[in-house]
Amino acid sequence: MDAPGSAYQPQMLLVHLPNKTVVEGRLLFFNAHYRIALLEVFSDSPLQPANLGSSTKFGEKVFALARDDESSLSVRRGTVLWHEPPECLKYMYCLSLSCEVARGGTGGPVIDQHGDVVGMAFRCLPNPDILPVSILRTCIRMWTEFSRIARPDLGIELRAFELLDVSHQEEIELEHNVTDGFIVSVVYDGSTAARLGISQGDMIVSYNGRSDFILHKFEDFLLSIGWGLLASVGSSWNVDLELEVYNPVKRTTRSITYPLEFSDASERNSNTSIVRNKLTNLWNFRSFYFHEVLWEKRFRQAK
> In Å, how far are 193, 207, 213, 241 from 186, measured between CA atoms?
10, 18, 17, 18
Evaluate if residue 279 carries a pLDDT over 50. no
Residue 9 has pLDDT above 90, yes or no: no
pTM value is 0.78
Q: Which position has the higher pLDDT, 119 or 286?
A: 119
Above 50 in pLDDT, residue 111?
Answer: yes
Confidence of residue 8 (pLDDT cuts 50, 70, 90): very low
Sorted by where each starts, the structural domains of the chain and their CATH numbers stand as: 12-146+266-302 (2.40.10.120), 150-264 (2.30.42.10)
Measured CA to CA, the distance from residue 131 to residue 128 in angstroms comes to 10
Q: Average the pLDDT over 163-187 and give the result.
A: 94
68 vs 166 pLDDT, higher one: 166
Cα–Cα distances (Å) from 266 to 95, 145, 243, 263, 273, in that order, read: 23, 13, 28, 9, 19
Position 43 scores a pLDDT of: 79
Q: Is pLDDT at 138 greater than 80 in this prediction?
A: yes
Q: Is 139 helix (H, G, I), strand (E, B) or coil?
A: helix
Which residue did the predictor score with more confidence, 61 or 126? 61
pLDDT tens profile 195-243:
999 999 999 999 999 999 999 999 999 999 999 888 886 666 778 999 9
- Write down the pLDDT at residue 39: 83
* 29-77: pLDDT as tens digits: 888 888 888 888 887 877 777 888 887 888 899 999 988 777 778 899 9
Checking if the pLDDT of 12 tops 50, the result is: yes
Q: What mean pLDDT comes out for the span 151-180?
A: 92
Q: What is the average pLDDT across 116-130?
A: 89
